[in-house]
Chain A
Amino acid sequence: METTETMESILSLANVSWRHQVRDFSTWKPWAKRDGAGIHSINLKINSGTIIGLVGPNGAGKTTLMRAICGLYECDGFNKSAETRRACIGYMPEQVRWEGRITVSQAITSISLMRNSTTDVENLIRTVGLSSKSNQLLDNLSQGMRQRLSLACALIGSPKMIVMDEPLNGLDPLAQRAFSNLLKNLAKKGVAIVISSHQVGDLESLVDEVALLHRGQLLINGTLEEIRKSLNLDDDSGIVEMICSATGIEPHDISLDLSDDGMLPFRPLGGEEE
């Protein structure tokens, strides 16, 4: 991997905030909305050739941050406009259920038209291992194949940065390995990758840096070593220990109870709710 000094900054975030608008139904104002969960004052620098893992408990704001990075929400604080970001970022959302009576290659062509790209569709299909399914209807694809199709869409137009939300879900172990290799190769070519995954074992071996989110805030980010040092953790401690240490949750006390505000889906048993 290149050193941080020599790497080109692809995107920087300074105090990026976004709140979802949720319905606040009342008899007299059934259309009323109020601020809901979101992300708050996120500062992050994304360099070329770096794989950043976004980690955090459910509801921490990982998907919201990814959508903001990809220009899906209008928020300030980026050094590039939403249009510019959309042009240079390939986005792979979580668990897209492709369906319809069009073929895989037609679906990719449709997205490449929206990128105004002249990508070699067949080559892209080969890259993600869908050659045998090129002319298959979307309705007939398995979820793993749909994941590959989403990946193909993220790769259209050779983006400088790829953002992936839970990309390993639905992939068989061999495909997961191939997927990791592909990401490493892309990073070697200078593509910046932001990835979120709850399969932290795979993530630890893949990422160069980790950004830990909790309740919409970026608690800590850096290489695994840097974070271990900051949190005074052992050398063999992993991402789960980092999350627990940074959020104050004890690993043996984790429950699935939801908090009332929906922003902290689990809380320490017997402890005070944050």
Chain B
Amino acid sequence: MNAEKLSTADRQVTFENVSKFYGDVLGVNRVNLSIPPGITGLVGPNGSGKTTLMNLMVGLIRPSRGRVSVFGLGPDDPEGLFRLVGYAAQYDSFPPGLTGYQFVESYLRVHGFSARESEALAWKAIERVNLVEAAGRKVAGYSKGMRQRIRLAQALSHEPSVLVLDEPLNGLDPMARAEAIALFRELADGGLHVIVSSHILHEVDLISDQVVLIHGGYIVAEGDIGDVRDEMEEDHPVQVLVRCDRPSLLASRVFEADHVVEARILEDGQGLLVRTRDADSFHLALNRIVLENGLAVDAVAPADSDVNAVYQYLIGSNGEKQ
């Protein structure tokens, strides 16, 4: 199958009513998902089913019920599926005694690439993760960050269309994180599906085009984080921070609107924190109030529209502390 020739609608990773049980243990249940190109952040506490979802995606396990397909291919076509998918598991696992280059090259050979092709692709991938100088050294002597990068290289070395990365930012220093995130962005902008699981919510927020929140084996939310947040407005009013010169006047005016449930002046007296059930209407009303009263506004920013807030509202704990 030529993935390049598929339409955008066909280039999806889909889960149709998928359940996976390990004997009596629930992995994931009744998952319906459609993951488009771009970076997708998979977020959930430990044991929530993230790795099960990833293993299902890459064909390592089969669903107990339902159907998983990557660009229309399932695990019954391993040759096709594994060409499309690149996977870096969360485990820090390397065959003993191999150098970074040998690690990447040997798995390319397992993939079915010729010796010459494997060599070229291995160097290309190693170059992408900036490990050329260390490629001749044994992986056992690598730092944790280097090990993460070489695992990333082996996952993308066969040039997959879907890259599934389990906790790929663990152990990376800030510089390496920035480089990895830039690489994910570059790959995603090139049309690749990059599916990343992480506990570090602000990073997921920073890099993801869409998120999938999973808890207890169930998908609790999915899609663009802004859209997810909008859908939660009724139960969890949106918080908007407005920095302005006369916050008390602004507070009295915004309370005229029904959708505003709370307005709190900041401790420094230089702004207002508003909770509203209709963010769009609030922003329109704010424009009007500012113009009518000649308020000097320094900044208007959402205060709880990031993944961290959504995660806390839906799952009830701070992911970073998991």
Does A associate with B in a complex?
A: no
Residues of A within 8 A of B (CB): none
Residues of B within 8 A of A (CB): none
